[in-house]
A and B are shown apart, each in its own frame.
Chain A
């Protein structure tokens, strides 16, 4: 069976995770939360089997086109979620984390079959820098996705009837800050490794290519986030909004640039 089978299984598991976590929050059934969590773990394992199969079939890590990178992105979101959940045990976060991974793996699976073919790597892509660059970028993106989930959770607290059942505001704020600091480190590494690679391949570490500029914009938004916390009245709601804006910029860097603009990353269709 090929990787898409295992990814379909993980899609179902993540959807179950979303439902189970929501049910846990609505009906205050702790058992449901545990079942949802176990579903996500099962989905994560199946997801990884799919990635391994794809690696074996293509002879390179699954990072070279939209289909593969989307599947990988979805997996890193779950990975970061599991790390965060293991440490902080936050209610509510699981809903959005598993929803985001369902959406990303679902999007990958729904791509037309032309997108799913195994790529022959063009010469510039045959470099270890490809793996280092893409993996570090996606770890950053995934951390921002979880921080985005945290930001949404924070804003929902005031708005909805189940707000009081969500985790404490201060804890959410602090957690988002830590995850963003983690993601910022990886995005920085991602941009730097991309620059070093570009310097080997084309002789310029920075060319103001749209993808580069949008990665810089994303980096600056999170840089702004980190600095703004030194000024006391920016914490809380404003921080939550910034984590949402930052994630929108992240998604635009990843997808929007390739869909709407041309440039050096245009092979990543």
Chain B
């Protein structure tokens, strides 16, 4: 009788396996997030119930018991994490303090650094020196890197990405002809020059670190200064005469402009922002416990089969 119940449970398990396989595949094809939908979670819950019914009636086999209890513990840990944890992504400029919305903590970015591989634009490592603020006081200062987070009261801070934050200033050279040295102006985004010697006023309205175009839409392809470009508005005493892009890598692009002027982007002063991931997940210890039990059970069953 007991044997038949177990065979039926295993048949149900096979059915659940097939359903979960098909549902998981469906999730990688559609753009809809099905993995957090009620019906997907129901499948997982049914599998949990099935495991309890199956494995507890076959308690005598220590290996199977370890494997299945391991899976249950992982599912339980995941549930706790999704109910009692949070995840928050922050972009912080140097010197800036931002506050977590889901915990009474603030984090200030003291310093951000990037090491590059020799003779290369590829970052080898990047790091942020962070100060954790609690109730208006700094409680911890530590440097984090990719793969080396910091932890404070169950909340972990990860170095997740970085990018060029606000451009502090762009320096542009304007000259009348190829051979004249012209005039340098340094502007922040949104800033405007006073009248220049050439009788012009110039306003810097936008800056892109890695200029690219789709149709007429301009955007930045990456956060690296691969193709820096500044958008200028040029005025004379009668008003706006042109709006133009000026490129750091291609100084003579658009050189023969209607005004007969040559614009070159010769310097950029920018600051980085650091992308931080703040995570609280009280389910992690349970999940990691499951990560130990599951392979332990598997190796035990391999061993038994080898000797049996």
Q: A195-B291, A202-B160 are in contact. Are A210 and B301 (CB under 8 A)?
A: no
Q: How far is it, in angstroms, between the C-alpha of A182 and the C-alpha of B298 when the chains are bound?
A: 9
Which chain B residues border A127 with CB–CB below 8 Å?
147
The A contact surface, by secondary structure, is: helix
Q: Are A227 and B24 in contact (CB under 8 A)?
A: no
Q: Are B284 and A199 in contact (CB under 8 A)?
A: yes
Q: A157 an interface residue at 8 Å Cβ cutoff?
A: no
Which chain A residues border B25 with CB–CB below 8 Å?
213, 217
Q: A221 an interface residue at 8 Å Cβ cutoff?
A: yes
Q: A202-B277, A206-B78 are in contact. Are A224 and B17 (CB under 8 A)?
A: yes
Which chain A residues border B301 with CB–CB below 8 Å?
181
Q: B99 an interface residue at 8 Å Cβ cutoff?
A: no
CB distance from A183 to the nearest CB of B (A): 11
* CB within 8 Å: A-B pair count: 104
CB distance from B63 to the nearest CB of A (A): 11
Per the 8 Å Cβ criterion, residues 61-78 of B in contact with A are: 78
Choose, from B116-124, B172-180, B239-247, the stretch at the interface: B116-124
Q: Are B305 and A181 in contact (CB under 8 A)?
A: yes
Q: A213-B24, A221-B21, A261-B28 are in contact. Are A123 and B145 (CB under 8 A)?
A: yes
Q: How far is it, in angstroms, between the C-alpha of A223 and the C-alpha of B301 when the chains are bound?
A: 14
Q: A178 an interface residue at 8 Å Cβ cutoff?
A: yes
Which chain A residues border B295 with CB–CB below 8 Å?
185, 188-189, 192
Q: Are A126 and B125 in contact (CB under 8 A)?
A: yes
Q: A200-B147, A203-B156, A231-B10 are in contact. Are A216 and B24 (CB under 8 A)?
A: yes
Q: How far is it, in angstroms, between the C-alpha of A223 and the C-alpha of B51 when the chains are bound?
A: 13
1/0 per residue, CB under 8 A from B, across A148-189: the answer is 000000000000000000000000000000100110110011
CB distance from B5 to the nearest CB of A (A): 13
Which chain B residues border A121 with CB–CB below 8 Å?
124
B298 touches which of A188, A196, A216 (Cβ 8 Å): A188
Which chain A residues border B147 with CB–CB below 8 Å?
123-124, 126-127, 200-201
Q: How far is it, in angstroms, between the C-alpha of A141 and the C-alpha of B138 when the chains are bound?
A: 49
CB distance from A181 to the nearest CB of B (A): 6
Q: Are A122 and B21 in contact (CB under 8 A)?
A: no
Which chain A residues border B299 with CB–CB below 8 Å?
185
Q: Are A203 and B302 in contact (CB under 8 A)?
A: no
* Sample of 20 more A-B contacts, CB < 8 Å, known A202-B158, A203-B87, A231-B7: A120-B124, A124-B147, A126-B147, A181-B301, A182-B302, A185-B299, A196-B291, A200-B148, A202-B277, A204-B281, A205-B287, A206-B78, A208-B27, A208-B33, A213-B27, A213-B28, A217-B25, A224-B21, A227-B14, A231-B10
Q: Which residues of A contact B (CB under 8 A)?
A: 120-124, 126-127, 178, 181-182, 184-185, 188-189, 192, 195-196, 199-206, 208, 210, 213-214, 216-217, 220-221, 223-224, 227-228, 230-231, 257, 261
Q: Which residues of B contact A (CB under 8 A)?
A: 7, 10-11, 13-14, 17-18, 20-21, 24-25, 27-28, 33, 35, 78, 87, 117, 120, 122-126, 145-149, 156, 158, 160, 277-279, 281, 284, 287-288, 291, 294-295, 298-299, 301-302, 305
